[in-house]
């Protein structure tokens, strides 16, 4: 006696499922990079440190704020490469000769990544009161219409 019909249908459905990607869709030509960005952002799962906020500050303006208490400006680095904003923090070890009875303030390095849409640019970064603010703006591209000439065969 074989498996119940509903189990065999479910197992067949699972085996027929394939990974759908942006690059596999016939109307999305040249979007292979989106698949890579989605994979990178999924893999950059952090442990929640440091905590951050993302706020909309206007129709095309955004701000990412990270709580980086104890980090000096020289301990922080902000880079933007291929639409990925990466914020890193590394504190220098100044604990020599100090004895802590309790250490509740985190002093560890971190890396936070954010994938930015095309046309989103970093406009400013500032550090105040233990908060790192990174301001972003979405720049609307100019609408461009291009006429493509059709070349015919000559006899």
Q: Is the pLDDT of residue 128 over 90?
A: yes
Within a domain: 129: yes
pLDDT in tens, 15-32: 445 566 666 666 666 666
DSSP state of 4: -
- What value does the mean pLDDT take over residues 47-51? 84
User: SS3 for 71?
Assistant: coil
Backbone phi and psi for residue 137, each to the nearest 5 degrees, phi listed first: -140, 140
Number of domains in the chain: 1
Give the separation between CA 144 and CA 69, rounded to whole angstroms: 46
Residue 43 is assigned to a structural domain of this protein? yes
In the block, tokens 């869709």 appear at 25
Domain extent, residue 32, equals 5-138
pLDDT bin (cut points 50, 70, 90) of residue 49 is confident
Query: Which domain CATH number covers 120?
Result: 2.60.40.790
**Model pTM score:** 0.65
Please check whether residue 145 lies inside any domain of the structure.
no
- Angle formed at CA 32 by CA 26 and CA 33, multiple of 5 degrees: 145
């Amino acid at each position: 006696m074989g498996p119940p019909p509903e189990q065999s249908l479910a197992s067949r459905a699972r085996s027929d499922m394939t990974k759908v990607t942006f690059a596999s869709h016939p109307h999305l030509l040249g979007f292979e990079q989106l698949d890579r960005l989605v994979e990178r952002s999924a893999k950059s799962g952090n442990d929640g440190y440091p905590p951050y906020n993302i706020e909309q500050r206007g129709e095309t303006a955004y701000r990412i704020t990270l709580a980086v208490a104890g980090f000096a400006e020289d301990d922080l680095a902000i880079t933007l490469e291929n639409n990925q904003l990466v914020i890193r923090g590394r504190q220098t070890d100044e604990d020599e000769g100090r004895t802590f009875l309790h250490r509740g303030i985190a002093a560890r390095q971190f890396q936070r990544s954010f994938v930015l849409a095309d046309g989103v640019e970093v406009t400013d970064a500032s550090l105040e009161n233990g908060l790192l603010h990174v301001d972003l703006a979405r720049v609307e591209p100019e609408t461009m219409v291009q006429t493509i000439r059709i070349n015919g065969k000559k006899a």
